[in-house]
Structure 1
Amino acid sequence: MALRLASISVDLDSLQHYCRIHSLPESVLDSRARGLVYATAVPRFQELLRAVGAPGTFFAIGEDLADAGAAAALKAAHASGIEVGNHSFSHDYALTRRAPDSMREELVRGEEAIFAATGTRPVGFRAPGYTLNAALYAATAERGYLYGSSTFPALPYYGAKAAVMGALALAGRPSRSILDNPRVLLAPRTPYRPDPAQPYRRGKGAVLELPMTVTPGLRFPFIGTFATTLPLPAVRAAWRACRGDALFNFELHGVDVLDAADGIPPELVRQQRDLRVSSARKLERLATIFRWLKEDADVVTLRVSAERLAQTV
């Protein structure tokens, strides 16, 4: 059975955020490395999407857009037809632990930065670290968002993240990331309307949730890191397992088209092992997967997916 819809989204997390995950000092990044996602990854994704004839959605972090080069790159991407969603202002991994007023401020400041760069206000939100709770969901509803795309019910990812965070803590270098509520592992894996009080459950919330794709059963994550590093037969098997879903929501990050040769410090490359794979190889793999999507689905932005699904979910 062919997919009805597919979307490709890219979180534009700068390398500073990977330093925070791995408890590395941000001083290991020079000025070029700090700007690599917008200076190098954004154009690569633009060209890849253009080459295969697919639209995309970029999730931008507001504070990054204070840099004129980053703002110009996002403006150019938006002008080419790419949707821009809100990934918060500061990408605080512990956003769900803040007071409600602080959560709203993160949304508003992110919106303002994106509007200043592109001239368009975002209608989609993705939480830092994929972590959602009732207060943050309420903030998106209050701000009038059409959709959220934060739910990531991937058991292998959750287990790996817990292991890495535990190892860093034992080493006396705690990660600034946080572990989500285990309830996320039982969340719907296909588009749904959340219960506002428990957004990892179905309900009648105003903001449609578009989970990132995981396979049925084992809930293996189909995201950029795995799609670009695993053997192609394994990736194809995961793809085929999801072909009956209403939406294939393929989530990536800017680093998924970067490698060590781009000027990333070795300290970060040692921790973020997918950076050891050449960008050329990763781009080739992504082009293959994007073509699968084009062959079997109507590939649209997340905004269009939400608009089409809103009346049926």
Structure 2
Amino acid sequence: MTAVRLASISVDLDSLPHYCRIHGLPESLLDEQARTLIHRVAVPRFLELFAAVGVPGTFFVIGEDLESDPGASDGMRRAHAAGVEVASHSHAHDYALTRRGPDAIAEDLARADAAILKAVGVRPSGFRAPGYTLNADLYAATVAQGYRYGSSAFPAAPYYAAKAAVMGALAALGRPSRSVLDTPRVLLAPRVPYRPDPARPYRRGSGPVLELPMTVTPVVRFPFIGTFATTLPRGTMRAAYRTCRADAFFNFELHGVDVLDATDGIPPELVRQQRDLRTSAAKKVERLRSIFQWLKDDFDVVTLRDAAGQLSATL
């Protein structure tokens, strides 16, 4: 009997202040409309897209957004009612969370869980680290919180090199990024689901919280994520997809901005830095619709929570 191949589609709901922090821009550029844009506009667009293709999804939400924006809580309740999994993307989305020490990390995760529980009535089953950065202290906190899975490992060499270059350029301009460059050891992490070594979570071990890495291609480890999927030529993405189509699990990761563009009320200073915002939202949504359909045709598309449930028995 042939094993069922699984795919998941997840969306990190990073609000625009975090993009200002990445690009070294003042958050004062953002008015209240811009600050709430991800939950007001992007979330409904993704819900419509999931429904149109007939696939489930997973939202990784930031706890403090739920606390500060009633609309965000309302949107997550609607998403939960529609069958979308609501998972944790930490409380404050602090890019330096892994450097805060065990107590501060544990407090952050607990606050995020409490905010999600209050918003949707269910504790999250999974976690994705801010900036995809994982270490032993953060992994231990996910174990203590009782998560079923984590989805933070991103072993993408081209992404890592580009991030390092951008951070260096911003520092040279006197506009340092608040982002954090992960250890190079992440580049050797498995590209398929695995149980981490709790002391070195980018290596295989016997940790209780399953790790579901974001999909990268074999060999060159090109990242198959929303930023590239919505902006690179369709043929390029189709070729990258074919190299991963035989995988037992495909983890397609996106961000809220992947369905937004400059006309949605984003300050031009941020649009200049976040180049994918120059592509029209309509074009990006249509591209994502196609990719979601590819996944539906080739895989059993499930939430990350359900994927973890099915995969855990095989690892």
Q: Do they superpose with TM above 0.5?
A: yes
Contact 1:123/1:146 (<8 A) preserved? yes
Query: Which residue does 1:15 correspond to in 2?
Result: 16
For residue 50 of structure 1, report the CA deviation from its aligned partner.
0.2
Q: 1:242 to 1:93 in 2, by over 3 A?
A: same
Distance (Å, rounded) in 1 between the aligned partners of 2:72 and 2:78: 10
Query: Which residue does 1:42 correspond to in 2?
Result: 43
For residue 70 of structure 1, report the CA deviation from its aligned partner.
1.0
Query: Which residue does 2:195 correspond to in 1?
Result: 193
Corresponding letter in the other structure for 1:288: S
Distance (Å, rounded) in 1 between the aligned partners of 2:3 and 2:161: 31
Corresponding letter in the other structure for 2:26: P
Equivalent residues in 2 for 1:81-92 (5 A)?
81-92=83-94
Please give the per-residue CA displacement for 1:197-238, whole angstroms capped at 9, x wherever unaligned: 000000000000000000000000000000000000110011
Corresponding letter in the other structure for 1:143: Q
For residue 258 of structure 1, report the CA deviation from its aligned partner.
0.3
**Secondary structure at 2:284 match in 1:** helix
Please give the per-residue CA displacement for 1:88-124, whole angstroms capped at 9, x wherever unaligned: 0000000000110000011000000011110010010
For residue 282 of structure 1, report the CA deviation from its aligned partner.
0.1
Please give the per-residue CA displacement for 1:255-291, whole angstroms capped at 9, x wherever unaligned: 0000000000000000000000000000000000000
Please give the per-residue CA displacement for 1:141-169, whole angstroms capped at 9, x wherever unaligned: 11111000000000000000000000000
Residue number among 97, 102, 105 corresponding to 1:103 in the alignment: 105
For residue 3 of structure 1, report the CA deviation from its aligned partner.
7.0
Give aligned-pair identity as a percent. 72
Paired residues, what number? 313
Contact 1:11/1:252 (<8 A) preserved? yes
Distance (Å, rounded) in 1 between the aligned partners of 2:293 and 2:133: 30
Distance (Å, rounded) in 2 between the aligned partners of 1:144 and 1:2: 28
Distance (Å, rounded) in 2 between the aligned partners of 1:64 and 1:18: 14
TM-score of the pair, normalised by structure 1: 0.99
Distance (Å, rounded) in 1 between the aligned partners of 2:263 and 2:80: 27
Query: Which residue does 2:175 correspond to in 1?
Result: 173
Corresponding letter in the other structure for 1:190: V
Contact 1:228/1:285 (<8 A) preserved? yes
**Structure 2 residue 233 is matched with structure 1 residue 231:** yes
Query: Which residue does 2:295 correspond to in 1?
Result: 293
Distance (Å, rounded) in 2 between the aligned partners of 1:156 and 1:214: 10
**Secondary structure at 2:180 match in 1:** coil
Corresponding letter in the other structure for 1:131: T
Corresponding letter in the other structure for 1:216: P
Distance (Å, rounded) in 2 between the aligned partners of 1:48 and 1:243: 22
For residue 196 of structure 1, report the CA deviation from its aligned partner.
0.4
Contact 1:3/1:243 (<8 A) preserved? no
Contact 1:2/1:243 (<8 A) preserved? no
Contact 1:2/1:297 (<8 A) preserved? no
What is the alpha-carbon root mean square deviation over aligned residues?
1.0
Residue number among 126, 138, 145 corresponding to 2:147 in the alignment: 145
Equivalent residues in 2 for 1:52-71 (5 A)?
52-66=53-67, 67-71=69-73
Please give the per-residue CA displacement for 1:151-190, whole angstroms capped at 9, x wherever unaligned: 0000000000000000000111110000000000000000
Residue number among 243, 250, 261 corresponding to 1:241 in the alignment: 243
**Structure 2 residue 274 is matched with structure 1 residue 272:** yes
Q: 1:13 to 1:104 in 2, by over 3 A?
A: same
Contact 1:3/1:296 (<8 A) preserved? no
**Secondary structure at 1:9 match in 2:** strand
Q: 1:153 to 1:133 in 2, by over 3 A?
A: same
For residue 74 of structure 1, report the CA deviation from its aligned partner.
1.0
Query: Which residue does 1:213 correspond to in 2?
Result: 215
Structure 1 residue runs of 5 or longer lacking an equivalent are none
Distance (Å, rounded) in 1 between the aligned partners of 2:256 and 2:228: 14
Query: Which residue does 2:186 correspond to in 1?
Result: 184
Corresponding letter in the other structure for 1:6: A
Corresponding letter in the other structure for 2:245: R
Corresponding letter in the other structure for 1:285: R
**Secondary structure at 2:92 match in 1:** coil
Structure 2 residue runs of 5 or longer lacking an equivalent are none
TM-score of the pair, normalised by structure 2: 0.98
Query: Which residue does 2:313 correspond to in 1?
Result: 311
Distance (Å, rounded) in 1 between the aligned partners of 2:80 and 2:266: 26
